[in-house]
Amino acid sequence: MTPPRVPLRVLSYNIHGQRDDTAALAEVVRAASPDVVVVQEGPRRFRWRAKTAALASSFGLVVAAGGLPSLGNVLLTSLRVRVTSTRCRRFPLTPGRHLRGAAYADCLVDGAARFTVAGSHLSTDPAERPSQAELFKRDLAAAPHPVIAAADLNEEPGWPAWAVVAQGLTDAAVAADRTERLTYSCADPRRRIDALFVDPRITVRDYDVLDTALTRRASDHFPVLVDLLLPADG
């Protein structure tokens, strides 16, 4: 008998600090109807709590974790998802560089399947990225439930930091045979630098990079939308 599986829709999105068309941004996310949104470049400075709550409300979701403690990485969920615990990390600062971090949430969907969702945004500096990837990967390895990890890695498949994070996990684009779908930039798509990885126990049903007139107005990155099947508890 096949064990029961629980569907989950996850959207990973670098929203460019909400510096573009925020109405288009909200419309994109609402139309996708995700259960979980992993945000990069979300609110992280003055009044970040209120801004994060407003962002979640514009998407029709609630705040799970992140913001200033994770330096702009934010996890949002629908009411299908119950968040049981959260944590944030800041990567060590290299002088003269931008601060980076990660957010994590342990979750239960439909009261039937547990998972850990993680979001991060690695440095644009190739010298910094591998050590940040190692810390992110260490946290993923310590997660108590099957992992869903989404990140703007700022590099492409096969590069050192990407390889560190991907080890032992399933690249959703590879699983769906959609590696040709580029995520950056909306003005001139040339690179796949936004990734979503899952525990091998999780099935990738579908994967897409949403390239529409709205997404080209909403941010400088395209959003990554993935449909998953999670193993049910017990």
Read off the pTM: 0.96
Give the amino acid at 220.
D
The structural domains of the chain, ordered by start, are 5-231 (3.60.10.10)
Strand order in the sheet with 194-198: 81-90, 101-109, 113-121, 147-152, 194-198, 170-171
Residue 203: phi, psi to the nearest 5?
-95, 130
Spatial contact of 102 and 74, defined as CB atoms under 8 Å apart: no
pLDDT of 93: 79
Low pLDDT (below 70) residues in the chain = 1-3, 95-97, 234
pLDDT of 117: 98
Number of H helices, E strands in the chain: 6, 12
pLDDT of 96: 58
pLDDT of 94: 72
Eight-class DSSP state of 69: G
pLDDT of 95: 63
Give the amino acid at 156.
E
pLDDT of 20: 97
Query: Angle 78-155-130 (CA atoms, 0-180°, nearest 5)?
Result: 95
Q: In the chain, how long is the greatest CA-to-CA distance?
A: 57
Name which of 20, 141, 120 is nearest 72 in CA terms.
120
Name which of 23, 17, 20, 40 is nearest 223 in CA terms.
40
pLDDT of 99: 83
| Distance in angstroms (rounded) separating the CA atoms of residues 89 and 92 | 10
Give the amino acid at 132.
Q
